[in-house]
Amino acid sequence: MRLKFILLLFLFLVSCNLSYSQGSKFDKVFDETSKVLLSSNPEKALRNTAYLYEISANNTERIRASMLRATLLRQHGMRNEAVTALKRADSLAVLDKNYNLQARINGFLSTIYREYEIYSLGKVYLQRAIAVSKKIEDKNEMYKFQGTLSQEIAYYEMYNSNFSKAIHDLKAGKKKFELADSSIDKNFHIAVNDELIGKNYLSLQKIDSALVYFQKAEKELSESESSNSPLKGFIFNGFGNVYARTGDDKKALLNYQKAEEIAIASDFFTLKQELYASLMQFYKKTDYKKYIEYNELNLKLKKDEEDSRKSNTDDLIKTLREEQKNNQLKNDQSRIIIFLGCFIFIVLIIMLVYVFKRKKDYIKPEAVSGNNEVIEIEDLKPKQESSKEYMSEATESAILEKIQKLEESHFYLDKDISLNYVAVKLSINQRYLSYVINKNKSIDFAGYINELRIHYITDRLRNDNNFLKYKISFLADLCGFSSHSRFTTTFKKVTGVSPLTFITDLQEQRDEEKKDL
């Protein structure tokens, strides 16, 4: 009996020691992956997330590993794989009734779908996150999460140009942060909120209110634990935009320069993107040379980011394939082990039965009866919606008139234009808008927008000689194209010639006209 007790105690101590060392190892690998490898070595980071999942001692660690994996995959544009990792994490969080992690996972899914403009699905996960967050028992964690969630809600409103609603949501989120205790950096979170509120006031042309909130954000950030965060660059960019709107170019330029110093030092892609867009807008009316300079910087930034992302994505895909092969190999080995185990078990059973029968002449088996209940689950399939749209001629004519009127505002020059944006602008159902464009323009929405852009730029080239001097990349950006190559391809498709040939022909025509005079 004593021997048995000593053996059990020994096994307990060994298991505790293993659990402790494994937990310590998990934290060490997790910190290294999230703080260093996530940006410096994404391929190794991806391998580490798989390893972290393997050594996880409990579901909380498995969820953390899956969320880290999703962060990495989202960072490199691998949305489907990121969603898969998050859904695996969500199933574990539901199993453990961990409402804090459930809320974070659903919020993350909402962000991914919003970034890829699948807004309807994004809002579904957003509502789930809101509902689950109310069940978080730790009030401090609940306030922190709901405050952060208000920013996600605001982004949806900003996309739909509901800037006043976005401000309302952000102010509600600010109150949540204020309710949290000092264990979180409240000043930093509130500074993020106020910087976003400032942006929304700018969009509403309420310059004075925007300035007040950028000033609040600057003060809160200076009093936070992250006073040197790149957020400071976004705030300076906000100040620059405010002063540019009021006509104080000197102050505007001073703040843009401060923002640029932070952007270069931090190499923060989103900050550079926002700042270059502001500087392009600033110089567009005053200094075309500077405008072209920042336009080219912006184009280079996008190209470098695309090249880097493509390179990293190729490496990650290669790593994922290797993981799949290794998993398949492990599964095959597991099947063999299970098969052998079952075979040995069956042999042992047969042997035991044989021995038992030898000891007893005959044992009549008792009849065992029971009710087997079969439950059939009906596969619910969503009803297919008809893709055709039916409307009266009057409705169709009214929509077409609205579209033609909107064309006069040159709305199509906006790079971020989308079917949803135009539908909201005209207060029209998206499917109706798409149907009318397809029927009356004999082209889809994207083709329609690109044709308008090309017609705009060819008109400017024909009627303004200055445009013949500009670079192709500048012309592409001016009429709303995000890349030089896309512009050239579309230009040739619409006009039948390349932009360079079109410009050369116009220049020759101008020269001939001068000779005739």
Residue 281 has pLDDT above 70, yes or no: yes
**pLDDT computed for residue 40 by the predictor:** 65
pTM of full prediction above 0.85: no
Residue 206 has pLDDT above 90, yes or no: yes
For residue 445, report the phi and psi dihedrals to the nearest 5 degrees.
-60, -50
Residue 146 has pLDDT above 70, yes or no: yes
What distance in Å separates the CA atoms of residue 146 and residue 176, rounded to the nearest whole number? Answer: 7
Residue 339 has pLDDT above 80, yes or no: no
Contact call for residues 224 and 185 (beta carbons, < 8 A): yes
Residue 22 has pLDDT above 60, yes or no: no
Angle between helices 269-284 and 249-266 (to 10 degrees): 150
User: Could you read off the pLDDT of 443-470 as tens digits, one per residue?
Assistant: 898 899 999 999 999 988 888 888 888 8
What distance in Å separates the CA atoms of residue 132 and residue 461, rounded to the nearest whole number? Answer: 57
Question: Percentage of the chain with pLDDT > 90?
Answer: 17
Instruction: Please name the amino acid found at residue 327.
Output: N
Contact call for residues 144 and 163 (beta carbons, < 8 A): no
Rank 89-93, 342-346, 357-361 by mean pLDDT and report only the highest. Answer: 89-93
For residue 375, report the phi and psi dihedrals to the nearest 5 degrees.
-110, 120
Angle between helices 59-75 and 42-55 (to 10 degrees): 160
User: Could you read off the pLDDT of 430-446 as tens digits, one per residue?
Assistant: 888 888 888 888 889 88
Give the range among 347-351, 369-373, 491-495, 499-503 with minimum mean pLDDT: 369-373
What distance in Å separates the CA atoms of residue 173 and residue 320, rounded to the nearest whole number? Answer: 38
**pLDDT computed for residue 18 by the predictor:** 44
**pLDDT computed for residue 399 by the predictor:** 87
Q: Number of helices (H) and strands (E), helices first, in the chain?
A: 22, 0
Q: What is the mean pLDDT of residues 81-88?
A: 87
Q: Which residue has the higher pLDDT, 330 or 180?
A: 180
- Mean pLDDT score of the chain: 79
Question: Percentage of the chain with pLDDT > 70?
Answer: 80
> Would you tell me how many other CB atoms lie within 10 Å of the CB of residue 78?
21
**pLDDT computed for residue 20 by the predictor:** 45
Q: What contacts 281, CB < 8 A, 6 or more positions away? A: 244
Rank 183-187, 313-317, 420-424 by mean pLDDT and report only the highest. Answer: 420-424
**pLDDT computed for residue 203 by the predictor:** 92
